[in-house]
Amino acid sequence: MPLKAVHVKNVPNLDQVSDDLNSPTFNTYPHLVQPAEDFMVIGHRGTGMNLLQSSDPRMKSIKENSILAFNAAGKFNLDFIEFDVQVTKDDYPIIFHDNFIFTEDKGVIIEKRVTDLNLDEFLSYGPQREPNKVGKPLFRKTKDGRIFEWKVEKDDHLCTLEEVFQKVNHSMGFNIEFKFDDNVVYKEDDLVHAIQVVLRVVFKYAKERSIFFSSFQPDATLLIRKLQNTYPVFFLTNGGSETYTDTRRNSLDEAMNLCLAGGLNGIVSEVRAILRNPGVIRRIKDSNLSLISYGQLNNMREVVYPQLLMGVDGVIVDLVEEITEAVADFGETIEKEKVGEEEEEEGDEIKCSQCQLSNLMKVIPGLVQP
């Protein structure tokens, strides 16, 4: 039984694409390639996000969202790398996750919104390209309000989307997340402008690279689909782990409704939402939508394996070496457990080994709780 894959079909060859967003190229599907037949492993921000407060050195190994991390991820059997894109004040798409960037001046922590910076100011933080130039010290604020100096074992300078396309191996696929602030109410014109700025760079440099887009911002996902039909668009959701005033963000059922109404290609869900309600997988797949999961629990092979068995198409992970090695072993394990194609042909529910699910609940106490 071949391992399942996210259905990232409709990935074109883009040797010649107009920079004009009104060009028909933005609304057509050129030369298509066949989707892979493998379960997808996607590197979160390259080789994993940085948890500066963590005692685990693997979470502070390589600077996240950097050229160094993206190329290091390419050494493993990854299908895509995921990274976050924002647009500077002077209209340059840059790679950075947090809404705010922090530095220190004379002992005082200074905070600025990333999208309020111009490109030169953004690139002045952290390590610099020029060997004799010293950048502003870079700090990060955690969700609980603590501030840490951004120290990792292998550091790298901040970068732009254009650099990523030019300096990362073309065989590596990109999951480009459009990053917007949950606490900001965006006008449609502002969303359209930011999306267009990013799309111009994508269509200029993508060529034959496999790409799909994603965003937690529901209106942004609909606009990304409206502005182009070349690449798949996924809606990111935590599936109800947090409650938002925008109800489209509060459950996997709402995520399905958004995708079907807006012509989106799939859902990227926090893994706990899927494991609390595994029956939703069948409904999502029957709706011809793909399903990928994210979350720190995906760094455990015991969590990844049941997802494969239940029909999830892929996982976004931080511990790329460990999980790619684990997934490489799963094929033999599946054969041993006799999960074969005949089970799908019977038309039953998506099946998962009861032993595997039992073990899953043992290693993650309280997993099914919000």
Torsion of CA 161, 162, 167, 169, to 10 degrees: 70
Bridge pairing between strands 314-317 and 40-44 = parallel
Note the pLDDT of residue 121.
98
Positive or negative: CA dihedral 46, 52, 57, 61: positive
d(CA 65, CA 46): 6
Please say whether the beta carbons of 231 and 11 come within 8 A.
Answer: yes
Q: Which ranges of 216-299 does DSSP label H, i.e. alpha helix?
A: 218-227, 252-262, 271-276, 280-286
DSSP code at position 364:
S
**Exposure of 158 by Cβ count < 10 A (0-12 exposed, 13-18 middle, 19+ buried)?**
buried
* Alpha carbon distance 255, 257 (integer Å): 5
With both helix axes pointing from N to C terminus, report the angle between 301-310 and 320-336 in degrees, rounded to the nearest 10.
50
Burial of 88 (0-12, 13-18, 19+ CB in 10 A): buried
Contact 281, 295 (CB under 8 A): no
Contact 163, 204 (CB under 8 A): no
Q: What pLDDT score does 175 carry?
A: 98
* Alpha helices in the chain, H assignment, sequence order: 67-73, 119-123, 161-167, 188-205, 218-227, 252-262, 271-276, 280-286, 301-310, 320-336, 341-345, 354-363
Cβ atoms within 10 A of the Cβ of 33, count? 13
The H or E element spanning position 102 is strand 100-105
Task: With H, G, I as helix, E, B as strand and everything else as coil, classify residue 360.
Answer: helix
Q: Which two tokens stand for residue 295?
A: 């979350």
DSSP string, 103-140: EEETTEEEEEEGGGS-HHHHHTBSS-SSTT--PBP-EE
Helix spans in 171-232 (H): 188-205, 218-227
pLDDT score for 38: 74
Tokens standing for residue 1: 């039984």
What does each of the 370 residues of the chain score in pLDDT, given as a tens digit? Answer: 333 333 333 323 323 333 444 333 333 322 222 233 479 999 999 999 999 999 999 999 999 999 999 999 999 989 999 999 999 999 999 999 999 999 999 999 999 999 999 999 999 999 999 989 999 999 999 999 999 999 999 999 999 999 999 999 999 999 999 999 999 999 999 999 999 999 999 999 999 999 999 999 999 999 999 999 999 999 999 999 889 999 999 999 999 999 999 999 999 999 999 999 999 999 999 999 999 999 999 999 999 999 998 999 999 999 999 999 999 888 666 666 644 555 555 555 545 555 655 565 555 555 545 5
Q: Side chain identity at 19, as an amino acid letter? A: D
pLDDT value of residue 330: 83
Whole-number pLDDT of residue 329: 86
Expressed in angstroms, the distance from the first to the final Cα of the chain is 34
